[in-house]
Amino acid sequence: MTELIEREGQAYCDARSELTLIVGLTHNGEREVRAFRSAGAKYAPLPDARTIYEIGSFSKVFTTSLLSVLVSSGVLSLDDTVASYFPELDLKPEIAEITVFDLATHTSGLSGDGVVLARLIAEDVATGDLAKFKYYEHYSKEHLDEELRVAELVRPRGSGWEYSRTGLSLLGHILEVASGEQYEPLLKKHICDPLGLKDTTYTLSEEQESRLVRGYDENGQPSPVWYWDIMLPQGGLRSTMDDMLTFAEANLATDDSQLSSDLRRARETEFEWPAGSTPAPAPYGSKATFRQALGWWNLDLGDGPVTQHAGATISYQSFGAVHQGTRTGLVAMTSSATNLVDVMAFPVLGQDLINKAVTAVSNGSSD
């Protein structure tokens, strides 16, 4: 696999300017990590396993893993409704009856961005200046409350799939309300500390800031990082290759510990497509059979499900996947000033690498 990662990783970088890429593979607990940057890069530094990246929507997987832990401890239930956490809001019945499970599986019927976030995005886009894109930072609890009051479902709850950033933000806030704790310390206590994830967080220390890689344009200008308010649980976390591989290995563990059981629930609790409905196509044009678990996506090309998710912010992308059958995991992260134009190509690279890794391991090949 080393040769495959070297070849495809460098080819990906060489087709782009001022980009960094780091790819990590774990198999039976043994790791390989390879770092790349664009040929002729003047500004983008070569990353290492402790370089910090924004991981975007892979944050959703940490949030739903946390959900699973809190379900085990009795803090909340997958059947709890939105109305039970926000009794002060005058919600329409179809919004009030949305469950925690619906939110975690993108089957609530809420649209991708909702009305309020879509409005904030449109206002920022109208400026034409990427540095002024601050809608996630500005989106507050008051905006979320407004969204719940005015939301119109794109389909009835539980009748199909609609990837919803608003829905996962709502889920993250429900975890806060149910536990009485803020999201970051809650994640640290139940996921990060038990697994030894020292750099998976949103709020960075001065030392961690020094390890945060930036995307650069061809003139050496760094692209913006993104800042967050209440939508943090759906896309605001930062992490390193060391931490992401540790998280992948925790999701490959087969022991009977409570945390392993909780992580397993997140991977294996799937939405059942209603009888007579057409399942949603797999993300990013994959031909695999697609099933939505709690946060995770299970995509199967015939060797058993590859459990995976991708993420993107304004200048970062991430991809993480595990395959239980071969005890193989793969993580990839990248930084570039132009990543937003590459939001399809990067997860396709990640899917291709993990699928080839699974095939190679299954066939006993080293490449």
Q: What is the pLDDT of residue 365?
A: 64
Q: What is the pLDDT of residue 234?
A: 98
**Is the four-CA dihedral 94, 95, 96, 97 of positive or negative sign?**
positive
Secondary element (H or E) of residue 150: helix 141-150
How many Cβ atoms are within 10 Å of 299's Cβ, its own excluded? 22
Q: What are the CA-CA distances from residue 263 to residues 2, 76, 177, 253, 326 (Å)?
A: 28, 16, 22, 9, 18
Q: What is the DSSP letter of 269?
A: -
Nearest to 227 by CA among 208, 207, 204, 199: 204
95 and 197 Cβ atoms separated by less than 8 Å: no
Q: What is the pLDDT of residue 63?
A: 98
Q: What is the pLDDT of residue 81?
A: 98
What does each of the 367 residues of the chain score in pLDDT, given as a tens digit? 778 899 999 999 999 889 999 999 999 999 999 999 999 889 989 999 999 999 999 999 999 999 999 999 999 999 999 999 999 999 999 999 999 999 999 999 999 999 999 999 999 999 888 778 899 999 999 999 999 999 999 999 999 999 999 999 999 999 999 999 999 999 999 999 999 999 999 999 999 999 999 988 878 888 889 999 999 999 999 999 999 999 999 999 999 999 999 999 999 999 999 988 888 999 988 999 999 999 999 999 988 999 999 999 989 999 999 999 999 999 999 998 876 667 788 999 999 999 999 998 888 765 5
DSSP letter string, 276-308: TPPPPPPGGG--SEEEE-SS-EEEESSSS-EEE
Specify which residues 24 forms β-bridges with: 33, 331
Phi then psi for residue 32, to 5 deg, are: -130, 130
Q: What is the spatial distance between Cα 60 and Cα 65, in angstroms, rounded to a whole number?
A: 8
Structural domains of the chain ordered from first start: 2-363 (3.40.710.10)
